[in-house]
Amino acid sequence: MDYEVRRVEIDGEFKVCPVCGYKDGFHSMFRREGESTKWMFICPNCHSVFDPGFTLEGTPGAQKVSALGKKST
């Protein structure tokens, strides 16, 4: 993974990019780490990746996707 993940602490709301000032929110991305999945956010303007520390429960039996987002089979 050739991008920097910036840790952020959400205080009030997380809508404006702290890097470039883009005002209209973020794309979502997810990264599996062991048994949990991290929920991170990408600025649509400057493509910075932000990690506010959210994790999601895995869903047993769900179909795995590769790092490129394509089916692994």
Query: What residue ranges bind Zn ion (CB under 5 A)?
Result: 17, 19-20, 22, 43, 45-46
Measured from the CB atom, is 16 or 55 closer to Zn ion? 16
Sign of CA dihedral 50, 57, 31, 68: negative
CB of 3 to Zn ion, least distance (A): 13
Q: Which residue has the tokens 């590769």?
A: 66
β-sheet with 5-7: strand ranges across: 5-7, 49-57, 36-42, 27-33
CB of 10 to Zn ion, least distance (A): 16
CB of 48 to Zn ion, least distance (A): 5
